[in-house]
Amino acid sequence: MSDGFEYSLMTPKRPMRNVENGKIKDVILQGVLEENLKIADPHVENRCRVRSSRTRVKSRLLPVLLITLLIVLIHFISDSMTPQPVDPVAFAARAPLLPWTEIIRNQGTALFDTGGSSAVMDSTAGFADSFDAQRLLNYDFLLNSDQARLSSVFGLAVQTIVIDPGHGGRDPGAVGSQGTREKDIVLDIARRLRDELMQNGRYRVLLTRETDIFISLSDRVKFSNRNKADLFISLHINALPQKQFNVTETFYFGPPSDEYTLRLAEQENRGSEILTGDFKNMIKKIGDVLKEQESATLAATLQHSLFSNMQKYDRVIADNGIKIAPFVVLLGVDAASVLVEISCISKHEEETNLNNPAYREKITSSLEEGISDYLKQRQTEVVKGEENGKKIRNKNS
């Protein structure tokens, strides 16, 4: 039994030797094969080295590429979570149009029909139900505040001034006891005023008539609007036989404040030759805030200058101040417009003075000073604090 046991222990050693011998043979044969290949092709060794080098480079670059990819991915995720600035033009182009017709109709005022698609209407139907069109833009402060002067807010300038000598031709206007005619006096003053205003070279000054011709109120309005007037100043001489003293006053357009202004407006509007259709278009200008602001301010500065200077030569002259009246020529003109009743030709002493060229020159200088003061005031930012502005509002209140 001992011999059998010993035999069983020795038998495993033989296969192990065979395996080791087989490995040695494989190594030897591999070496022989490589040597033979080198002999047959000298470049084999170089290609083997290149393949080995490329393998090592790839193994080194792979971690770098993976890290770079990870960094790019993190940056992309971060950018997608950060709000980006919006181009308002591009956004407006992409944004759907609001159903303004539906919005305004819901407010009880159907102003226009956009003809928009029903798809757009439906997409914003909920918004239209709760939208308040009257609160879209609130211009109350800009249009109704005493502190906001539109010409200053928007930096509006004056370039063209139209001087309108009243009456003319077959219409003499008021006539004094000495035969002095209103149309002649105001034409002379208008020419002088034009020449004085043009001396500084900053303004274009035009006259609605430069000779003794008749021009209807309609044509005066058309002349002013055609020439894009920024200021319109109509010159007149009053006749008030019921008054015992001389009077000066300045008007801008508005409803009559008393029977006197109503009758005066009827007198000045007579023979206007304005058609009913044209008048309907003029009525639309009522409520023009810019025109009303500037007309009132221009009237105030002219009246203040005219009275303060004329009382140096006529101590009993009365300041009737600034008034509003429905003069059609003031309504039709697009620009800030006033009508100046310089004095009363019905007073004998005043008629004598008006026939004196030196006196008419003093009137002209007073008007020029008032216009210049008004133009200086347009440089201010607000009306609040201006003496003439306060005077206007106090008289209207």
Lowest average pLDDT, out of 55-69, 134-148, 311-325, 382-396, goes to 382-396
What percent of the chain is modeled with pLDDT above 70?
54
Q: Is the pLDDT of residue 320 over 50?
A: yes
Q: Is the pLDDT of residue 10 over 50?
A: no
Q: Is the pLDDT of residue 1 over 80?
A: no
Could you tell me which CATH class the domain 151-396 is placed in?
alpha beta
Higher pLDDT, 273 or 384: 273
Counting other chains too, the contacts that 187-193 makes at CB distance below 8 Å and 24 or more residues apart are: 187/211, 187/212, 188/357, 188/360, 189/165, 189/235, 189/342, 189/360, 189/363, 189/364, 189/367, 190/163, 190/164, 190/165, 190/235, 192/360, 192/361, 192/364, 193/163, 193/235, 193/364, 193/367, 193/368
| pLDDT class of 73 with cuts at 50, 70, 90 | confident
Look at residue 326 in the predicted model and tell me its pLDDT. Answer: 86
Which pLDDT tens digit goes with each residue over 30-39? 666 666 666 6
Instruction: Give the 3-state DSSP-derived string for 180-214, with helices as H, strands as E and coil as C.
Output: CEHHHHHHHHHHHHHHHHHHHCCCEEEECCCCCCC
Look at residue 379 in the predicted model and tell me its pLDDT. Answer: 61
Lowest average pLDDT, out of 112-116, 138-142, 164-168, goes to 112-116
Look at residue 254 in the predicted model and tell me its pLDDT. Answer: 81
Q: Read off the tokens for 112.
A: 């226009």
Q: 305: number of CA atoms within 13 Å, CB side? A: 20
Tokens 């211009």: give the residue: 139
For the chain, give the mean pLDDT. Answer: 74
Report whether 152 contacts 378 (CB < 8 A): yes
Lowest average pLDDT, out of 115-124, 240-249, 356-365, goes to 115-124
Domain map of the chain by residue range? Answer: 2-78, 97-135, 151-396
Q: Read off the tokens for 316.
A: 């009993």
